Structure 1
Amino acid sequence: MTTVPHVVNSVNLTDDELAALYEYPANSEPWVRANFVVSIDGAISTNGSSVGLTTPLDQKVLKLLRDLSDVVLVGANTIRVEDYIGIKVSEAGSRRRTNRGLSPVPPLAVVSGRADIDPQSRLLTNTTVPPIILTTSTAPTVAKRNLTTAGAQVIELGPGPIETTAIIDTLSSLGMTKILCEGGPNLTGQLVADHLLNEMCVTTAPTMICGNAQRITHLDRHANLKMRCKHIIFDPDGAQLARWITNEQPSSGSIT
């Protein structure tokens, strides 16, 4: 039976009602959600950054999704391109997290096979909580030591390449089961191909980009992960925010 998505107009939508639309499932199993903003023609960036696509409601939902998560998962290249800083949580967001039994501020977990992250970057110098660097045992020792000295929690996930199962299992072992992935396309593509992505949140900005910008996922292997649309929010500025849920049931316990 086909399920019709819940259609919502953002006008007069309260913060509590918006949060209710994006609540995680009420269980302790790992749940991985990704969040992207795209143009009508599928581009995820303009001039290499998503800044030119985002809208006020998209930014509000981005902050909400972070508030609801245990951890924000990002690939190293996205950290560099978007010049990430540590997650900032508003007073209202802090209350929202506390009411859900979450830590005051979610950490960033960064996937980097070679620990190729500048220890002087804003990721480490402008943050409330130290980032988690998920890397390999074969990454340069000096790079890992420099990141540790700069305050990061460096975790080796074997000799590499880094598997998505290792990422999810490691975060889950740290008590972080509500996982928000913010890209990039390679990491998201790997989650999709391995059928470990439970949910995709997509803001479609009311603009066309053309050019050769990347799409949400990019990988050298094919995948077919069926999803259903849970809701669509229409905003007066023309943006559409959709929440897609996988048709597959999450496995019980740790994903292995």
Structure 2
Amino acid sequence: MVYRKLDELTDDEVYAAYAPPAPDWLRVNFVSSADGAATLEGLSGPLSGEEDKRVFKVLRARCDVLLAGSGTVKAEGYGPLVLSPERMAWRKAQGLPEVPVMAVVSRSLAGLDPAMGIFTLAPRRPIVVVPADLPEATVGPFREVADVIAAGTGAVDFPAALAALRELGLRQILCEGGPRVFGELIADDLVDELDLTVSPLLVGAGPVRVAEGPAAKDARPLELRHVLEAGGNLILRYLRGSTDE
């Protein structure tokens, strides 16, 4: 396990610190308060600061596809997935498209509008992931602005959805939540890595945890690979087992 101060690392060192151990990899990125809250005033944004956003941006630059639940997309006000010129240049140097693909997971598409900028202004055609039995009258308008992955009945089948993403060549998957999506991924034993920023705040009772939803059959052991400190934030990287050794 490595402990470093984030501001002592070059950009190249931060990219190297988050190199994926395998071609197919699912990492989840979250922030929580010191007492375990996933939100402050209903949003995760206020728990985050400029310090941990440096890692946040590296994780986005490293992925093929950014996966997020529709509730998170709406609550956090996601716009089109764009990167800075420096991040795009880094991706181009790695032989990657300049930006990742955005994939929005939704059980019903309620509250989403195909006219939203996350779809219409996207530099790469986004994806919506929905249950296969969702009525075509609901899904149809989104086909104009996004590709559709239909998996599951009544709810999204995450193993099938991830397999479909990888069939499209989107093998490095970054999930930014929300807690329900993270809980589903844990229950299906699909999480390879958790990148968790612990913010130096006490929020108190009320907000949800970073994982909600169905109970997992067993606890999954993780290995702490590094701790980066930035402005009182602890930026933790956990991997399942010892997959790259």
TM-score (norm 1): 0.89
1:99 matched residue in structure 2: 93
Structure 2: segments with no counterpart, 5+ residues: none
Local SS of the residue matching 1:180: strand
1:111–1:248: structure 2 CA closer, same or farther, 3 Å change rule?
farther
What is the DSSP-based 3-state SS (H/G/I as helix, E as strand, rest coil) of the residue aligned with 2:118?
Answer: helix
Provide, for residues 96-138 of structure 1, a one-character-per-residue CA deviation record: whole Å limited to 9, x for no partner.
Answer: 1122222111111111122332112232233222220011232
1:16 lines up with 2:12 in the alignment:
yes
Which deviates more from structure 2 when the two are superposed, residues 63-72 or residues 92-101?
A: 92-101
Contact 2:149–2:161, Cα closer than 8 Å, also in 1: no
What is the one-letter code of the residue matched to 2:227?
A: I
Instruction: Show the 5 A alignment for 1:43-82.
Output: 43-82=37-76
Matched, 1:153 2:116: no
| Contact 1:115 1:140 (C-alpha < 8 Å) held by counterparts | no
| C-alpha contact (below 8 Å) 1:86/1:107 kept by paired residues | no
1:69-218 alignment runs, 5 A limit: 69-116=63-110, 117-149=112-144, 151-218=145-212
Aligned to 1:7: 3
Residue 224 (1) aligns with residue 219 (2)? yes
User: How does 1:26-41 map onto structure 2 within 5 Å?
Assistant: 27-28=22-23, 30-41=24-35
Partners of 1:244 and 1:231 in 2: CA distance: 8
Paired with 1:140 and 1:77, the residues of 2 have a C-alpha distance of 20
Give the letter for the 2:5 counterpart.
N
Unaligned runs of 5+ in 1: 251-256
Q: Give the Cα–Cα distance (whole angstroms) in 2 for the partners of residues 158 and 224 of structure 1.
A: 25
Letter in 2 for 1:20: A
Sequence identity (%): 31
Amino acid corresponding to residue 143 of structure 1 in structure 2: T
- Distance (Å, rounded) in 2 between the aligned partners of 1:219 and 1:113: 14
Taking the aligned partners of 2:198 and 2:165, their CA distance within structure 1 comes to 29
What SS is found at the alignment partner of 1:108?
Answer: strand
- 1:249 shift after superposition: 4.6
TM-score (norm 2): 0.93
Structure 1, residues 66-122: CA drift from partner, whole Å, max 9, x if none? Answer: 100000011111111111112111111112112222211111111112233211223
User: Which secondary structure does the structure 2 equivalent of 1:146 belong to?
Assistant: helix
Q: How many residues align?
A: 242
Contact 1:72–1:179 (8 Å) recurs in 2: yes
Q: Which moved more, 1:225-234 or 1:9-18?
A: 9-18
SS at match of 2:177: coil
SS of 1:11's equivalent in the other structure is helix
Secondary structure, aligned partner of 1:190: helix
Aligned mates of 2:156, 2:143 — CA distance in 1: 19
Measure how far apart 1:217 and its partner are. Answer: 0.5
Which of 154-163 and 92-101 deviates more?
Answer: 154-163
Q: Which moved further from structure 2: 137-146 or 56-65?
A: 137-146
Q: 1:89 is paired with a residue of what secondary structure?
A: coil
Between the aligned partners of 2:59 and 2:132, the Cα distance in structure 1 is 32
Alpha-carbon offset, residue 21 of structure 1: 0.6
